[in-house]
Amino acid sequence: MGVEGIGARVARKEDKRFLTGKGRYTDDMTVPGMKYAFFVRSAYAHARILSIDTAAAEAMPGIIAVLGGKQLQADGIGNLICGWMIHSKDGSPMKMGAWRPLAHETVRYVGDAIAIVVADSLSEARDAAEAVVVEYEVLSAVTQASLALADGQPQIHPEAANNIIFDWQLGDGDATDAALARAAHVTEMKIVNNRLSPNPMEPRATLGIYDDAEDHYTCYTTSQNPHVARLVMSAFYNVAPENKLRVIAPDVGGGFGSKIYIYPEEIVCLWASKKTGVPVKWTSDRTEAFLTDAHGRDHETTVKMAFDADHRIIGLKVDTIANIGAYMSLFSSATPTYLYATLLSGQYDIPAIHANVRAVYTNTAPVDAYRGAGRPEATYVMERTIETAARELGVSPVELRRKNFIRSFPHQTPVIMNYDAGDFDASLDAALAASDYAGFPARKAAAAARGMKRGIGMSCYIEACGIAPSAAVGSLGAGVGLWESAEVRVNAVGTIEVLTGSHSHGQGHETTFAQLIADRFGVPMDNVNIVHGDTDKVQMGMGTYGSRSGAVGMSAIVKALDKVEAKAKKIAAHLMEADESDIVIENGELKVAGTDKTLPWFQVALAAYTAHNLPSGMEPGLKETAFYDPSNFTFPAGCYICEVEVDPETGKTQIVQFVAADDFGNIINPMIVEGQVHGGIAQGIGQALLEAVHYDPANGQLITASYMDYAMPRADDLPSFQLSHQTTPCPSNPLGIKGCGEAGAIGSPPALINAITDAIGNNDLSMPATPQKVWLAANVAH
Amino acid sequence: MYATHYHRASSVQDALSLKSAAEDSRYLSGGMTLIATMKQRLAAPTDLVDLRHVEAMKGVTVAGRTVRIGAGTTHYDVASSAALAGVCPAICALASHIGDPHVRHMGTIGGSIANNDPAADYPSALLALDAVIVTDRREIGAADFFTGLFETALVEDEIVTAVTFEAPEKAGYAKFPNPASRYAMTGVFVTKGAGGVRVAVTGAGSDGVFRHAGLEQALSARWSPDAVAGVAVDPSNLMADLHASADYRANLVKVMTKRAVAAA
């Protein structure tokens, strides 16, 4: 490992511009003639639109246009789609209702877009939006999924009877039922995974520019995957053919999944730009973000975990109702199915598993993948249940987990996944040691003497990243392949540009990816530039989500580097009159092994471009492209141990210790990985202690529409985290990387809730464990 | 935010004339609530008359145990007044936990009490301290000043210019913050002095700040954190919302009282 190579704690190249306010975000983009958009949105959760009167608004000062859904539909702009087909267990395809970019017949959640107002200034657009008169016939609304599927509830889309989009299953129902029937003990729990609002620091924004002279569109947008945005807008929404549409996702301030999807605003602003002849910019305010960004989680689950007399898990039965919201967002069908039920084996050897998932429409914002996406829900089900089982069985939660750990790899679970590597004991041992688990009883007694209830809880998580083998996901219903691309351009002076289909929105790719090049060629990181986020610059790519940029994106770079290296060696061998197989690359030089013959990297690059003296028949230039399609998912895993003190008088929980022992495979930059884990745990603690989206069940109004009511974790809610890494390299990709972006958010909620329930002696506690809930649960128990 | 006109008053008299000359005007004294409300387009005054630069309304003076805090004094200046800390550190501690540093450098005591947010900290202090609210035209006892949720005894255009009180023998404040907003979900200010024991509760009452007779009796009998143990707090007049039921708030009233006494 060099000072800048793989394994080095290199400070982030991009931080200077972020920390000094020099980042260039979508809202920073300004073009001549640009106008501002404000959207008219539904004030009701469910209503029929009787009429829309824009006359008064159009007459107001500074107004360019007020456009609605009828005009959009007349211009042939398509409805929004869900890109992953799920079939119900009866074989029928999922029942997807129409999501119009601008609603003109029915609105289905508070915030549903109805019209766009384009004006000289944002305040004029906003003033005019208030003057648009929408006449509604208000319909009754339903916000909770388990209510929405009952008879007699409001029907949200005509396509989906009882609001059920699909009723899907995975695993062997008969074998699981048989295991439950013969079990010595069954632990049954009802578990709710609370709905979350993603809250990236940068709200969504878009700038649509139509160039009449060139008949060409440019879309600046806050996207995690600009090429997918271009593909979908072109292929499904008829905004423009791909060759006439450039999508640019510049600096993006956090996404957490919410910026994977295509939303109405990008489509409408592009269309409005053509319609009005002016560039149209829209930036979400925080209220709109709460109302319209795709939410996460929102599962209601019943789980039964069956044990034999020796405390081995012999079966697991899970029944989940997933709230999809009012419309099916881009990957909303995959999140509660193939990203969820496939992880229900956890770290355990379970012979029989059956999961049933019903996806249900409600009059709420669309729900889709949010940091972890299905895997936090699965981990929460598994780790709360096994902890509860240990308490019911009167055995150590550590030993119950150990007894059931998978220890030989590869391991085929009953729910599709084939775990390729791992050492679950190693992470558990490390976490037990770091947390001084053995010393807990003494700490609990000391806390009790101070009147505090101290508890300890753990979570042994596994997740699936590196998504995903294209053929595999294709067979499961994905509408896209999940490979990644890279192009490595060595310039004539030896500097290097790497064009990647991955997209950085906080992950530090400009640093981590450059470290890989520095390591491979021995060139300074400063000579390497990472280019991403622009469909006119970068070849087709699939973007960043699911902790895939290291495992998939960097693997594509490795493949391109292999090609570059092979060609550079051929050139060097030719120039130094040596055999190609004797050429080695070290410290920025190409050398003939065992001799003092050497050529600096830049001279080889220069030779490639002058082309004065290349091997016979070789094309000039030194630039290679690669597409990498993974052969398997990757399986990050680990053990988190959380220790809390609960104030029994108020129910307030203080986290006094948090230990994370993770196996991410090989690590490029430990500092960036630690930052990812810190952020992930903060979000997991947010879910477990503080965050929850609440709709008024009577009328579907969003109650938590600001930070006055939606509690985000603050620095003083969080402890210092003790991190460690145990490494089993991933066997399926060239760098041995598993991925680290989501683990913190996946592993931490059950560890924290298990700690609180341990402290108060009551397993019946739901997230977020607010002081009030904990106080009530503690008082019920005593 | 809708367009508005901003006026910076140089004196109380100037403020009164600016206010009455405008069509639909509001006083601004920090704007920590009003500006946020205007940004959400929930308030749309045509004119704002800023009181924060009226010199006569700023600063803390302590004479013996008599305290005078100008209405335009920021929370930061209250929190960091050494003279005030010498006679009534509880109110300094209270001010030091309002909002965040930005809020504490902009928000003022006069703005806070004139707004009378049911979850604001100051109303409980002023009620427990039996403070007098001085306006441009009269003096109002705290018990008469706070009349309901966001309601005060102030009449149209009346300006709070100062608050005064006699520092009690003992005073303490304990707040349980709302996990999201960090306003008081329940805050209790207790005092013990010549006028006896006073217990004032903010963040919990469905009519805003209130005194609790049962707690006052218990603490009058015995000034000790343990003295509140047997007191019943009736939840029927307490607020209930997403974050805390009335029963939970009733519990917090007792617990915060206990902790305020311990801190006093």
Based on the fold, state whether residues A238 and A386 are members of the same structural domain.
no
Residue A30: how many CB atoms within 10 A of its CB?
Answer: 9
Using a CB-CB distance cutoff of 8 angstroms, which residues of chain B are in contact with residue A126? Answer: 41
Tokens (6 digits) for A184: 């010595």
Q: Is residue A410 reached through a cis peptide bond, with omega within 30 degrees of 0 on the bond before it?
A: yes
Nearest chain A residue (CA) to B229: A649
CA–CA min distance B67, chain A (Å)? 33
CB–CB contact A711 B179 (8 Å): yes
Chain A residues near residue B243 by CB distance under 8 angstroms: 709, 770, 772
Task: Tell me whether residue A469 is in a domain.
Answer: no
Do A649 and A619 share a structural domain?
no
Q: How many CB atoms lie within 10 A of CB A689?
A: 26
Contact A649 B251 (CB under 8 A): yes
pLDDT at B95 over 60: yes
Instruction: Tell me the chain A residues in contact with residue B1 when contact means C-beta distances shorter than 8 Å.
Output: 123
- Which of B181, B245, B254 has the most A C-beta neighbours within 10 Å, making it the best mutation to test the interface with A? B181
Contact call for residues A68 and A275 (beta carbons, < 8 A): no
Residue A90 has pLDDT above 60, yes or no: yes
Structure tokens at B202: 């903010």
Q: Residue A665's domain spans which residues?
A: 420-461+633-782
- CA–CA distance, B110 with B72 (Å, rounded to integer): 6
Beta bridge partners of B162: B70, B134
- Please give the pLDDT value at position A781: 52
pLDDT tens readout for residues A361-375: 999 999 999 999 999
B180–A710 CB contact, under 8 Å: yes
The pLDDT tens digits for A124-157 are 999 999 999 999 999 999 999 999 999 999 999 9
Contact between chains at B176 and A711 (C-beta distance less than 8 A): no
Last residue of a domain, one of A606, A628, A650: A628
Q: Per the domain annotation, does A21 fall within a domain?
A: no
CA gap A454, A444 in Å, rounded: 5
- Provide the pLDDT for residue A175: 98
Chain B hits for A771, CB-CB cut-off 8 Å, are 176, 179, 248
**Is A770 in contact with B252 (Cβ distance < 8 A)?**
no
Q: Which CATH number do you get for residue A164?
A: 3.30.365.10
| Residue of A733, A85, A746 lying closest to A468 (CA atoms) | A733
CB contact under 8 A, B179 and A649: no
Distance CA B163, CA B170 (A): 19
Q: Does the distance separating the beta carbons of A709 and B179 come in below 8 Å? A: no
Are A709 and B252 an interchain contact pair (Cβ–Cβ within 8 Å)?
Answer: no
Is the predicted pLDDT of residue A665 greater than 70, yes or no? yes
Give the span between the Cα atoms of B76 and B68, in whole angstroms: 16
Residue of chain A whose Cα is closest to the Cα of B184: A708
Rounded Cα–Cα distance for residues A522 and A589 (Å):
8
Q: Name the pLDDT band for B195 (thresholds 50, 70, 90).
A: confident
The residue-averaged pLDDT of A641-664 equals: 98
Determine the pLDDT at residue A271.
Answer: 98
Asked if residue A414 is part of any domain, the answer here is no
Angle at B166 between CA B165 and CA B172, to 5 degrees: 90
The confidence score (pLDDT) of residue A512 equals 97
A768 to chain B, closest Cα gap in Å = 11
Angle at A647 between CA A645 and CA A648, to 5 degrees: 120
Angle between helices B213-221 and B246-263 (to 10 degrees): 30
Spell out which residues of chain A touch residue B3, defining contact as CB-CB under 8 Å: 123
What residues are paired with A134 via a beta bridge? A52
What is the tally of structural domains in chain A?
4
Over range A368-390, report the average pLDDT.
97
Say what the pLDDT of residue B26 is.
97
Contact status, residue A142 vs residue A155, Cβ threshold 8 Å: no
Whether residues A345 and A267 share a domain: the answer is: no
As for the ipTM of the complex, it is: 0.95
Q: How far apart are CA A291 and CA A289, in angstroms?
A: 5
pLDDT in tens, B36-89: 999 999 999 999 999 999 999 999 999 999 999 999 999 999 999 999 999 999
Phi-psi region of A311 (alpha: psi -120 to 50; beta: other; left: phi over 0): left
Helices A743-760 + A670-685 axis angle, to 10:
50
Is residue A315 pLDDT above 70, yes or no?
Answer: yes
Under the banding of pLDDT at 50, 70 and 90, the label for residue B1 is confident
Residues A535 and A618 in one domain: yes
Band (pLDDT 50/70/90 cuts) for residue A2 is low
Same domain, A308 and A218: no
Residue A219 and residue A227: Cα distance in Å, rounded? 11
Is 50 exceeded by the pLDDT of residue A679?
yes
- Residues B51 and B32: their CA atoms lie apart, in Å, by 13
CB contact under 8 A, A708 and B40: no
Cβ contact A694–B242 (<8 Å): yes
Antiparallel, parallel or unpaired: β A216-221 and A245-248:
parallel
Report how far residue A102's alpha carbon sits from residue A123's, in angstroms, rounded to the nearest whole number: 21
Mean pLDDT of chain B: 97
Residue A195 Cα, gap to closest chain B Cα (Å) = 15
pLDDT in tens, A93-129: 999 999 999 999 999 999 999 999 999 999 999 999 9
> Is position A680 within any domain?
yes
Q: How many angstroms separate the most distant Cα atoms in chain B?
A: 57
pLDDT at A780 over 90: no
Top residue of A772, A774, A776, A780 to mutate, by most chain B CBs within 10 Å, is A772
Place of tokens 């069956």: A306
Q: CB B180 to CB A287 under 8 A?
A: no
Q: Give the integer Cα–Cα distance in Å for A586 and A601.
A: 9
**The predicted structure's pLDDT at residue A782:** 47
Q: How far is A713 from chain B (nearest CA, A)?
A: 9
> Packing angle between helix A226-235 and helix A264-276, nearest 10 degrees?
60
CA distance A709 to chain B (A): 5
Summarize pLDDT for A730-743 with one digit per residue, the tens: 999 999 999 999 99
Q: Are residues A76 and A219 in the same domain?
A: yes
> Shortest CB distance from A707 goes to which of B180, B242, B251?
B180
Is A133 in the same domain as A249? yes
Q: Point out the residue among B3, B242, B248 whose CB comes nearest to the CB of A703.
A: B242
- State the pLDDT confidence band at A77, using cuts at 50, 70 and 90: very high
Tell me how close the Cα of A773 comes to any Cα of chain B, in angstroms.
9
Judge whether residue B247 has pLDDT over 50.
yes
* CB-CB under 8 Å, A652 with B248: no
Q: Quick check: pTM over 0.80?
A: yes
Nearest to A690 among B40, B179, B252 (CB): B179
Beta-strand ranges (E) seen in A72-195 are 106-107, 113-119, 133-138, 164-171, 185-193
Work out the minimum CA distance from A86 to partner chain B, whole angstroms: 36
The counts of H helices and E strands in chain A are 20, 28
Please report the pLDDT score of residue A357 as a whole number.
98
Task: Please list every residue in chain A whose beta carbon sits closer than 8 Å to the beta carbon of residue B179.
Answer: 689-690, 711, 770-771
Q: Which domains does chain B have, with CATH numbers?
A: 5-50 (3.30.43.10), 55-166 (3.30.465.10), 170-263 (3.30.390.50)
Nearest-Cα distance to chain B for A710, in Å, is 6
Q: How far apart are the first and last CA of chain A?
A: 56
Question: How many contacts does A have with B, using Cβ atoms within 8 A?
Answer: 46
* A578 and A529 belong to one structural domain: yes
Whole-angstrom distance, CA of residue A611 vs CA of residue A605: 10
Cβ contact (<8 Å) for A772 and B248? Answer: yes
Is the pLDDT reported for residue A224 higher than 50?
yes
Of the residues A290, A709, A718, the best mutation for testing chain B's interface (the one with the most B CB atoms within 10 Å of its CB) is: A709
State the best of A649, A691, A702 to mutate against chain B, taking most chain B CBs within 10 Å. Answer: A649
Instruction: Kindly give the pairing relationship between strand A280-283 and strand A299-307.
Output: unpaired
Cα–Cα nearest to A549, from A508, A598, A583: A508
- The per-residue pLDDT for A766 is 98
Whether the predicted pLDDT of A208 surpasses 90: yes
Please report residues of A whose CB lies closer than 8 A to that of B242: 694, 703-704, 709
Of B3, B40, B244, the CB nearest to A772: B244
Beta bridge partners of A40: A115
Cβ–Cβ below 8 Å for A707 and B244: no
Q: What is the pLDDT of residue A191?
A: 98
Whether A13 is covered by a domain: the verdict is: no
A145/A105 same-domain check: no
- Mean pLDDT taken over chain A: 97
**Domain termination residue (choose one: A292, A312, A344):** A292
Chain A contact set for B41 (CB, 8 A): 126, 130
- Are A709 and B244 a contacting pair at CB < 8 A? no
A403 domain-assigned: no
Q: What distances in angstroms separate CA A596 from CA A128, A211, A583, A592, A599, one per listed residue?
A: 76, 58, 12, 7, 10
Domain check: are A56 and A99 in the same one? yes
CATH number at residue A207: 3.90.1170.50
- B249: how many CB neighbours lie within 10 A of its CB? 26
Nearest-angstrom CA–CA distance, A27 and B241: 36
CB-based contact A655:A759 (threshold 8 Å)? no
When scoring B41, B226, B255 by the number of chain A Cβ atoms within 10 A, the one with the most, hence best to mutate, is B255
Q: What percent of chain A has pLDDT over 70?
A: 99
Q: Taking each helix axis from N to C terminus, what angle separates A397-404 and A424-434, rounded to the nearest 10 degrees?
A: 160
List, in sequence order, every residue forming a beta bridge with A356; answer none if it has no partner. Answer: A169, A319
Cis? peptide before B118, omega within 30° of 0? no
List pLDDT tens digits, range A225-235. 999 999 999 99
How does pLDDT run across A155-182, given as a tens digit for each residue?
999 999 999 999 999 999 999 999 999 9
* Mutation for testing the B interface, residue in A197, A770, A773 having most B CBs under 10 Å: A770
Whether residue A452 is found in the same domain as residue A487: no
A162 and A120, same domain (yes or no): no
What are the tokens at A276?
């009005």
The stretch A308-336 carries a mean pLDDT of 98
Does the residue A572 lie in any domain? Answer: yes
Work out the minimum CA distance from A702 to partner chain B, whole angstroms: 12
Question: Quick one: closest CA in A to B40, which residue?
Answer: A287
Q: Which residues of A touch B (CB under 8 A)?
A: 123, 126-127, 130, 287, 649-652, 689-690, 694, 703-704, 707-712, 770-772, 775-776
pLDDT above 90 covers what percent of chain A? 99
Q: Is residue A133 part of a domain?
A: yes
Please choose, from the candidates A494, A525, A461, A514, the residue with its C-alpha nearest in 3D space to the C-alpha of residue A742: A461
**Model pLDDT for residues B12-22, shown as the tens digit of each residue:** 999 999 999 99
pLDDT value at residue B207: 96
Average pLDDT over residues B162-169: 98
Would the CB atoms of A690 and B244 count as touching at under 8 Å?
no
